[in-house]
């Protein structure tokens, strides 16, 4: 288990009912990439892919699927080949913009089934039209099921509803999905940092451990350029020389605090046979991925961060502190709760 871990490219599914603002959100991501390289897979329901024509020409690579819904006309192998092609181009993240009538649950299953060490599921972002949400749910009850499985709900067109309407709509969304963050935005403006960090690092920087301070400073450095987009979400960090209890850490990653969208970082496991390994953990919506590599220069330590919107920061801080409870040396199976999520090459 030694050596550098494969760093898969996260694959984010962007879904939402017709007219919610998916393409607007995607274009915003591309225009505010700040050095990140996004690969885009666009699907529209029709012989001419109108959505692909509307996507900004700033993506690192775009593949188009036309004349049908991706979850009905593409199999897992075909999708896996498309994702692998984009990942091989050196992108930092891949965004699948699904048709407005696509079935998100089927898309998630397809991404998970497209087993390739170069890609990993990065979460489901579901866009809703806040002014039209009630009417959409009444006319299309299946949308409620789509919202329920989202990892992040983006409430678009927040400028077109009153404060009272926004509160009521937020409560309805929370009832449908009590754990996903709900981010009210205008013009699909979400911070790309929610999906992936900037790739603008030198080779020397890449060899060192990315500290929690670096992660938080990154957002501060882009304050003006992002027009305070990141003010809508919170992050809670843990940076401590103490090791984790792998059983507790796995439980935290599998069931993160309400409002959490992403959890990531490095974990120190002080157990025989594991002290020399840095466990690189990532979690989105309960889907956990763990990589194993040698520790970078310096003493081992635990550095974790939770990012979300509407996050109970105190509860998240308590939950993070809880993973530092000393592991029981006699718990020989505790480490398996963490290592079962380790990504290995086929």
Q: At 228, which CATH number? A: 3.30.1220.10
- The pLDDT of 66-86, averaged and rounded, is 60
Q: Are 76 and 112 in the same domain?
A: yes
Q: Which residues pair with 211 in a beta bridge?
A: none
Of 86-100, 120-134, 248-262, the poorest mean pLDDT is in 86-100
Rounded average pLDDT over 89-103: 80
Tell me the pLDDT tens digit for each residue of 102-160.
Answer: 788 888 888 888 777 888 888 999 999 999 999 999 988 999 999 999 999 999 999 99
Lowest mean pLDDT among 22-31, 230-239, 300-309, 333-342: 230-239
d(CA 178, CA 192): 23
18, 135: one domain: yes
Residue 202: strand, helix, or coil: coil
In this prediction, residues 214-241 reach a mean pLDDT of: 54
Give the domain extent around 306.
201-339
Between 81-85, 214-218, 315-319, 328-332, the lowest mean confidence (pLDDT) is in 214-218
Of residues 268 and 53, more confidently modeled: 268
Same domain, 174 and 60: yes
At 210, the pLDDT band (50, 70, 90 cuts) reads: very low
Task: Select from 193, 209, 230 the last residue of a domain.
Answer: 193
Q: Of 174, 193, 212, at which residue does a domain stop? A: 193
Task: Check if the beta carbon of residue 328 is closer than 8 Å to that of residue 334.
Answer: yes
pLDDT at 143: 92
Q: Is residue 4 a part of any domain in this protein?
A: no
Q: Total structural domains in the chain?
A: 2
Mean pLDDT over each residue of the chain, to the nearest integer: 77
Q: How far apart are CA 194 and CA 249, in angstroms?
A: 22
Tell which wins on pLDDT, 54 or 41. 41
Using pLDDT thresholds of 50, 70 and 90, give the confidence band for residue 7: confident
Instruction: Return the pLDDT at 326.
Output: 79
- Predicted TM-score (pTM) of this structure: 0.68
Q: In the block, which residue shows the tokens 């024509």?
A: 53
Q: Is 76 exposed, middle or buried (0-12, 13-18, 19+ CB in 10 A)?
A: middle
Q: Is 73 in the same domain as 182?
A: yes
């Amino acid at each position: 288990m030694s050596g550098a871990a494969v760093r898969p490219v996260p694959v984010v599914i962007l879904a939402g009912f017709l007219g919610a603002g998916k393409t607007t959100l995607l274009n915003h991501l591309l225009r505010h990439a700040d050095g990140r390289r996004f690969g885009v897979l666009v699907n529209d329901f029709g012989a001419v892919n109108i959505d692909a024509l509307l996507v900004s020409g700033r993506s690192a690579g775009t593949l188009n699927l036309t004349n049908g819904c991706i979850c009905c006309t593409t199999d897992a192998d075909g999708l896996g080949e498309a994702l692998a092609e984009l990942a091989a181009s050196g992108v930092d993240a891949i965004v699948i913009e699904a048709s407005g009538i696509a079935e998100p649950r089927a898309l998630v299953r397809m991404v998970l089934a497209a087993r390739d060490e170069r890609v990993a599921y990065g979460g489901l972002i579901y866009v809703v039209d806040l002014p039209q949400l009630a009417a959409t749910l009444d006319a299309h009850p299946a949308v409620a099921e789509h919202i329920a499985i989202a990892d992040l709900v983006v409430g678009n067109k927040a400028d077109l509803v009153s404060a009272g309407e926004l509160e009521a709509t937020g409560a309805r969304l929370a009832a449908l999905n009590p754990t996903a963050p709900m981010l009210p935005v205008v013009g699909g403006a979400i911070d790309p940092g929610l999906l992936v960090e900037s790739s603008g690092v030198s080779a020397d920087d890449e060899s060192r451990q990315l500290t929690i301070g670096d992660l938080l400073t990154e957002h501060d450095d882009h304050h003006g350029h992002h027009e305070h987009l990141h003010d809508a979400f919170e992050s809670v960090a843990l940076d401590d020389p103490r090791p984790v209890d792998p059983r507790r850490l796995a439980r935290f990653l599998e069931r993160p605090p309400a409002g959490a969208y992403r959890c990531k970082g490095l974990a120190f496991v002080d157990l025989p046979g594991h002290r020399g390994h840095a466990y690189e953990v990532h979690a989105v919506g309960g889907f956990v991925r763990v990589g194993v590599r040698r520790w970078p220069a310096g003493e081992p330590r635990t550095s974790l961060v939770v990012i979300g919107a509407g996050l109970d920061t105190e509860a998240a801080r308590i939950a993070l502190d809880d993973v530092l409870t000393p592991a029981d040396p006699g718990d020989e199976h505790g480490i398996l709760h963490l290592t079962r999520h380790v990504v290995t090459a086929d």
